[in-house]
Amino acid sequence: MKKLPDELMFLEHRKAVQLTTDARIDGKVVVITGATSGVGLEALKKIVLNEVYVFVVARNIFKAKELINHLKINNNAKIDLIEADFSILSDVRKAAEEILNKTSRIDILINCAGLHSTKRILTKEGNETVFAVNHLASFLFTYLLLDTIKASAPSRILQINSEGHRFNGLNIDDLDWKNRHYTGLRGYGASKTAQLLTTWEFHDQLIGSGVTINAMHPGDVKTNIGQNNGLIYRLFSKLVIQRFLKDPKVSGESIYYLIAEPSLEKVSGQYFHLTQKSVPAKHALDRTLGKKIYLKTLEICEID
């Protein structure tokens, strides 16, 4: 059978048997966003079976507390809840500051918070909401924690991305879709493309630091993403889309593999489909555009 082009191999990777690890991360300090549902929650379930100190960043602190009360947690694992709405960059800054005031080391950062919207909605800071949550927030959060992550090396950063980056939509001159018709797929694709492009920029800066940064698609699994949309979308998702999706447990296992597996300690600047090394779409490998979106993101996030 003829081999698929590299950029289409994700179609094979989704059917592959995914890798797992028995490695433990005892003693590590872990920061994770988006862990109150879906793939983030499944990853958290695996992480807290270790003797770890975990910062869980959550928008709904009451939901997070209730969830944690029902988790099976190692007796020596500690969880600290940090309240933040990642559509608001000032909240991202506060969350980073709170974490840095509580710990002098960060061994693992997992940026898992994500959003899909069928409508163009602006945040109170004037950014398109999906772009703000999926890209700006994860970028700013990583940037603010980076010195501590580097001081804790060897350490790992994992960006939970998506095959949705293949929908593209990234226009550096119209990031908030003021001059174009917004669609949910292209808006989502733009945010995930920007996240990938800046991941490669972070990787270049981190060479030799002992810090790795990778991105991964967490699989075609059932999550709550998109449930902020209207009734028609939610019904379509429940009755059609969800029927073809897998249990998110495979995502949790795969995330844990990427942050814990010893053989990956020095692997960086890679894109994974679950645990399979994959090739992103060509537009997400455009390093000229990557440098531009990196600088533009610094500007939007008001980073000097």
pLDDT over 70 at 128, yes or no: yes
Strand ranges for the chain from DSSP E: 29-33, 53-58, 78-83, 108-111, 155-160, 211-217, 271-273, 276-278
Q: How many CA atoms lie within 13 A of 140 on its CB side?
A: 29
Q: How much is the pLDDT for 221?
A: 45
Q: Which CATH architecture has domain 6-300?
A: 3-Layer(aba) Sandwich (3.40)
pLDDT over 80 at 266, yes or no: yes
CA–CA dist 100, 103 (Å, integer): 5
CA–CA dist 25, 224 (Å, integer): 28
Looking at the chain, the whole-number percentage of residues with pLDDT higher than 70 is 86
Query: Which two structure tokens, joined as six digits, stand for 75?
Result: 């007796």
Q: Which residues contact 73 (CB under 8 A, 6 or more apart)?
A: 48, 49, 79
Q: How much is the pLDDT for 202?
A: 98
* Helix/strand/coil percent split, the chain, to 5: 45, 15, 40
Distance of CA 19 to the CA centre of its chain: 19
Q: Which region among 90-94, 109-113, 226-230 has the lowest average model confidence (pLDDT)?
A: 226-230
96, 144 in Cβ contact below 8 A?
Answer: yes
How large is the angle between the packed helices 137-151 and 89-102, nearest 10 degrees?
20
Per-residue confidence band for 7, with pLDDT thresholds at 50, 70 and 90: low
Long-range contacts of 24-27 (CB under 8 A, 24+ apart): 24/50, 24/260, 25/50, 25/52, 25/107, 25/108, 25/259, 25/260, 26/50, 26/51, 26/52, 27/51, 27/52
Q: Is the dihedral of CA 142, 148, 152, 153 positive or negative?
A: positive
Long-range contacts of 243-246 (CB under 8 A, 24+ apart): 244/220, 245/220, 245/221, 246/219, 246/220, 246/221, 246/222
Domain spans of the chain, in order of start: 6-300
pLDDT tens digits along 233-257: 334 334 433 443 456 789 999 999 9
CA–CA dist 145, 119 (Å, integer): 31
Average pLDDT of the chain, as a whole number: 89
**What value does the mean pLDDT take over residues 5-25?**
75
Query: Which two structure tokens, joined as six digits, stand for 242?
Result: 């969800």
This prediction has a pTM of 0.89
Per-residue confidence band for 220, with pLDDT thresholds at 50, 70 and 90: low
Instruction: Give the CA radius of gyration of the chain.
Output: 18
Q: How much is the pLDDT for 247?
A: 65
